[in-house]
């Protein structure tokens, strides 16, 4: 058992729907254990600059349904400087922080690990990113919402694509991961999905993606054709890909870059529940002595996973769905 009197929390990296729900669960759980809670602003920047606020229950009232993060998020280049981690640890000590919870992705967890070298308190991570590219948890906070936000947009594009009989390329976020693209593509009934996991796409060889388009146009007479394209799948981006395709097949292909709308919005139920569970679990595990771990959920159970392994990229996207999409869904 660990004695924690003062707990800090921050949100780091790209914001994700559900971060507020997680802050709320942390505050409520810690308060119930008589732990004081403070929140740093702007991710690690607020830690370095000691910009923070006390978090009381009225601060987290009615935020479970809000997008964004009341603590603001940010990347923090300052933490990556040579003395950054030591300065961050110093700030934690000065403020008598016994434990810090970092809500973010694996990049934020690397920063957390760097701080640990200089800090005697406990550090724990909670996975919050729409990309779902963090090892040690089935889902990250924000993924389920981003999926539904993307779907809502793709359904609308389907309406107009169908009315106009057009080919659309819809670019989704995901950094180096195709999680969101595969899920959204399956769920939208997309005719084709292009993501890193399916192999590299080269301007010199567009045939593998052109053939199914021509096949669909010829054989099935489908009114619309939607391709989901994970960002970073093509040199020059999805707009360049659309232009290359248009030229290659002689039918206009339009690009639609969904962009940052995928980050916002009220979190869906699954994200609120996951955020609540992981936030509460993180506090409970800190009290049990957990350190340098991430609070994740695997097969429905809250579990700890070493922070150091969260960025190993060993989590595979559902092989059943990959196979089905390639063999049948894209017919």
Q: Which of residues 75-134 bind a copy of itself (CB under 8 A)?
A: none
Closer to a copy of itself by CB, 2 or 326: give it.
Answer: 326
Binding status of residue 175 toward a copy of itself by CB under 8 A: no
If residue 8 lies in a helix (H) or strand (E), which one and from where to where? strand 6-11
Among 88, 91, 268, 293, binds a copy of itself (CB under 8 A): 268
Rule CB under 8 A: which of 304-323 touch a copy of itself? 318, 320-321
Number of residues that bind a copy of itself (CB under 8 A): 82
Rule CB under 8 A: which of 19-78 touch a copy of itself? 19, 24-25, 28-29, 32, 42, 57, 61-62, 64-69, 72-74
Here's the x/- map for a copy of itself, 180-219, by CB under 8 A: it reads as: ---xx-xxxx------------------------------
Specify which residues 256 forms β-bridges with: 170
- Active site members: 131
Binding status of residue 240 toward a copy of itself by CB under 8 A: no
Closer to a copy of itself by CB, 122 or 224: give it.
Answer: 224
* CB hemisphere CA count around 35 (13 angstroms): 27
CB neighbour class for 315 (10 Å; exposed up to 12, middle 13-18, buried from 19): middle
Binding status of residue 259 toward a copy of itself by CB under 8 A: yes
Binding status of residue 168 toward a copy of itself by CB under 8 A: yes
The answer to whether 50 and 41 have CB atoms below 8 angstroms apart is no
In the chain, what's the furthest Cα-to-Cα distance? 70
Binding status of residue 257 toward a copy of itself by CB under 8 A: yes
Helices (H) and strands (E) counted in the chain, each on its own, are: 12, 11
* CB hemisphere CA count around 136 (13 angstroms): 23
- Reduce the DSSP state of residue 325 to 3 states and report it: helix
């Amino acid at each position: 058992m660990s004695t924690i009197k003062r707990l800090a929390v921050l949100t780091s990296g790209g914001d994700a729907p559900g971060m507020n729900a997680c802050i709320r669960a942390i505050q409520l759980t810690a308060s119930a254990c008589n732990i004081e809670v403070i929140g740093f602003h702007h991710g690690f920047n607020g830690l370095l600059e000691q910009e923070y606020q006390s978090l009381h229950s009225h601060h987290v009232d009615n935020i479970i349904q809000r997008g964004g993060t009341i603590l603001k998020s940010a990347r923090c280049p300052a933490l990556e400087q040579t003395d950054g981690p030591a300065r961050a640890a110093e700030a934690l000590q000065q403020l008598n922080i016994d434990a810090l919870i970092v809500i973010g992705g694996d990049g934020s967890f690397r920063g957390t690990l760097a701080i640990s070298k200089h800090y005697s308190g406990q550090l724990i991570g909670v996975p919050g990113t729409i990309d779902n590219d963090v090892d040690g948890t089935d889902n990250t906070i924000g993924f389920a919402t981003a999926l539904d936000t993307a779907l809502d947009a793709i359904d609308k594009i389907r309406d107009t694509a169908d009315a106009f009989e057009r080919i659309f390329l819809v670019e989704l976020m995901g950094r180096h991961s195709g999680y969101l693209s595969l899920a959204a593509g399956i769920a939208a009934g997309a005719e084709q999905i292009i993501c890193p996991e399916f192999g590299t796409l080269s301007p010199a060889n567009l045939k593998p993606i052109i053939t199914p388009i021509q096949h669909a146009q010829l054989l099935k007479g489908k009114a619309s054709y939607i391709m989901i394209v994970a960002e970073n799948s093509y040199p020059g981006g999805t707009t360049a890909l659309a232009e290359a395709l248009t030229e290659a097949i002689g039918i206009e292909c339009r690009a639609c870059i969904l962009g940052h709308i995928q980050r916002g919005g009220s979190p869906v139920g699954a994200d609120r529940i996951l955020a609540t569970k992981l936030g509460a679990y993180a506090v409970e595990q800190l009290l049990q002595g957990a350190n340098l771990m991430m609070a994740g959920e695997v097969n429905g159970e809250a579990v700890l996973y070493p922070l150091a392994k969260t960025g190993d990229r060993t989590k595979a996207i559902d092989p059943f769905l990959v196979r089905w999409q390639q063999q049948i869904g894209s017919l």
